[in-house]
Amino acid sequence: MQSNPHPDITDNIEQDLFSISSKPIKNFQFIRARSGIYVYRCLYGGLPAVAKYFEKEEDRREILNYHILARHGIPTIKTFALADATLVMEDISESEDWRPGIAEDLRDVAIAKCLARWYFTLHESGTAVPELDSLYFEYDSITEDNLKLLVLKLPEANELFTFLLTHYKELHELIYKPSFTLTYNDFYWTNFVVHKDKTAAMMFDYNLMGRGYRFSDFRNVCWSMSDDAKTAFTSEYNQLYFDKHNHIRTEIEVLEKRVDDVMGPLFSLLVAFTEHENLPNWAKESKNDAINGSLLSNAKQLLL
């Protein structure tokens, strides 16, 4: 692959960064491009770095998210520059202290505990973010029009979608009833880094970060982890919460879970059918639940 298949994009990156700093950026090595987001390895001010450029205005929320995380003391990969459409961060593959996550980390109890500490910091600090109400929220997309779209995409689940449309007013109210905080929303091993001595871990790639329920993040994390790692994550998080608040989240979490048990699969189906040509593996369970009646049962328990 040629080192710079999109010279117009690297020109845009240079111009964007020049507006905030005189540090040179050079030696672009193309990594990937998808849906208007371009990623390069490079040298920035002589240091190994990764640059991300966002063509679409809505994707530039990741730059705002880095500002928010920094203001609230939530650990992130070191950032070198945050411009209007470009962010430049440390190249973890060249780091002395950190390494990229690997699939085996999803079975590592020590790393699960580290990730629990990062998520706890995110959620605790996230409740006080002034911009919270304006941030991306996955379930904003659960509209009447999108439910009607799902009827067309999945007619086998017509009874489910007819029920939800009939009770849409109540459904919409319940979506916004739980307390909100910052949520990561995109957990996977490709999206976190681990300190080489396993004393810390943190997520990166904040394009889908926004507001949401703590339980939605728990569900995303635990879906991917081994049973031992899952237990370690939830135990560590719950202990941190109890140590700070002197009570557990059980009652609060019940509502989050009941809403998320319906909204999570609906959102997965919506993304799967609108952004992918073929149904992704991660959406197959949601499709089955929509067809076999289990999602309808959850919806009735929530709404009736």
Cα four-point dihedral sign 194, 257, 147, 289: positive
Provide the pairing of β-strand 201-203 with 181-183.
unpaired
pLDDT of residue 252: 86
Domain that holds residue 250: 100-303
- Number of domains into which the chain is organized: 2
User: What are the residues facing 193 on neighbouring strands?
Assistant: 100, 202
Confidence of residue 5 (pLDDT cuts 50, 70, 90): confident
d(CA 213, CA 178) in angstroms, rounded, equals 7
CATH number reported for the structural domain that contains residue 21 in this entry: 3.30.200.20
Q: Give the mean model confidence (pLDDT) for residues 272-286.
A: 93
- Is residue 2's pLDDT more than 70? no
Encoded tokens for 80 = 């070198």
Q: Where a domain ends, among 40, 64, 95?
A: 95
Q: Are residues 44 and 78 in the same domain?
A: yes
Q: Are residues 66 and 212 in the same domain?
A: no
Q: Give the mean model confidence (pLDDT) for residues 198-218.
A: 97
Confidence of residue 293 (pLDDT cuts 50, 70, 90): very high
